[in-house]
Amino acid sequence: MPSRHRRRLALLVPVTAAALVGTVVTVAGPSPTVQAAVTGSAAAPAAVPATIPLTFTNNSRRAEQVYVYNLGTELSTGRQGWADANGTFHPWPAGGSVPVPAPDASIAGPASGGSMTIRMPKFSGRIYFSYGQKLVFKLATGGLVQPAVQNPSDPNRNILFNWSEYTLNDSGLWLNSTQVDMVSAPYAVGVKRPDGSVATTGRLKPGGYKGFFDALRGQPGGWAGLVQTRSDGTVLRALAPGHGIEAGALPAGVMDDYINRVWTKYAGSTLTVTPFANQPSVKYYGRVSGDVMNFTNSAGAVVTSFQKPDSDSVFGCYKRLDAPNDQVRGPISRTLCAGYNRSTLLTNPNQPDTSSAGFYQDGVTNHYSRKIHAQMTDGKAYGFAFDDVGAHESLVHDGDPRQAYVTLDPFD
């Protein structure tokens, strides 16, 4: 599912608050791709029940206690809160100007080799899981403060954890594995369809977890700085490059050379963007003039303009590449974002380029995303916010889901 500001679930849009340790989640309207699902304009083949079972399996081969959380926005009311193991919704109490501890929403997870089944309500939310220690959640006046481990003072900084994201509504289930913020504890997601078949994604190849971190550490140009370890030597995660820039772990100008070459190319030629696969006649034409790339429609009228982005704008698909929930700027921006991260804008003036054969071929690219895609069994990942351009994201969906799955995988 598409995202803004480094998230996939458009009903969970974080707002960074400088005074807070973490990310405050507020409720906002869904992005265009999600809109049909939220409004019900894409009719489901059968009524989706109020909750569906989620089987959570621990194949990690780790001895620590696992804690599971189901946090999100109740779609029927717009309230934020958490769900217990039975799928019962509990709204968060009011927060404070100084964040206060949130109620303990943890569910004791299964031991290694075991499984348990909980219920998923109609949420747009996250399923967190942590190893050996409960996560710290707080409530501010603006909502839930979620972990932001690019901040060295975040109380979750030294906890091994990860999360999946989902929306369950009357039109079905969208469930993804995500690497938009970090690569950490490995897991896969799945959905059982009405015919009994199970679609899965997010699983690393054998040796892929270690292979990813080894490859990132070996990538010249500062990419090794994204890896965070604990004092006992445990590899905790690799930060996504935008968070790495924020934390000072990756050079802020790491994409500048590619961006400059794109700017030079389209000062003398035209970039054609066809943002909707089902509307091939809708095209926009980009040309650079000074510090601005202007996009015109087929009548020659300027419909939107973008300032020359910096690396953080590219990695986060925001700031100078902001993608509002409209039918013009947002779709163009997400196309540009994908082209920059995959470094296809110089090799193909017709975007989006949806063939993975041409992705990440330039020496200046999103090596973090390149390396996590390379380690996935199906090649799919959410390496950046708009990795769903061309359907390269690690997402499962069904309009009539019978069961969902989250499987913790070995740290091989």
**Ramachandran region of residue 181, left (φ > 0), alpha (ψ -120 to 50) or beta?**
alpha
DSSP string computed for 76-90: TT--EEEE-TT--EE
Residue 322 annotated among the catalytic residues of the structure:
no
Q: With contact defined as beta carbons under 8 Å apart, do 36 and 166 qualify? A: no
Please state, in angstroms and rounded to a whole number, the distance separating the CA atoms of residues 176 and 165: 6
Half-sphere exposure (CA, 13 Å, Cβ side) for 336? 36
How many residues comprise the chain?
412
Helices (H), 54-154: none
Please state, in angstroms and rounded to a whole number, the distance separating the CA atoms of residues 82 and 148: 19
Say which of 64, 74, 154, 165 is annotated catalytic: 165
Please state, in angstroms and rounded to a whole number, the distance separating the CA atoms of residues 254 and 131: 33
Q: Which three-class secondary structure state does DSSP give residue 169? A: strand
Half-sphere exposure (CA, 13 Å, Cβ side) for 195? 3
Q: Which amino acid is at 77?
A: T
Give me Rg for the CA atoms of the chain.
21
Strand boundaries in 27-122, DSSP class E: 51-58, 66-74, 80-83, 89-91, 100-101, 107-108, 115-121
- Token digits for 353? 């380029």
Q: How far is CA 6 from the centre of its chain?
A: 6
Residue 84 annotated among the catalytic residues of the structure:
no
Say which of 181, 312, 353, 398 is annotated catalytic: 181
Strands 51-58 and 403-408: parallel
- Token digits for 260? 């400059």
Q: With contact defined as beta carbons under 8 Å apart, do 404 and 55 qualify? A: yes
Quick one: which of 154, 340, 312 has its CA closest to 248? 312
Catalytic residue ranges: 165, 181
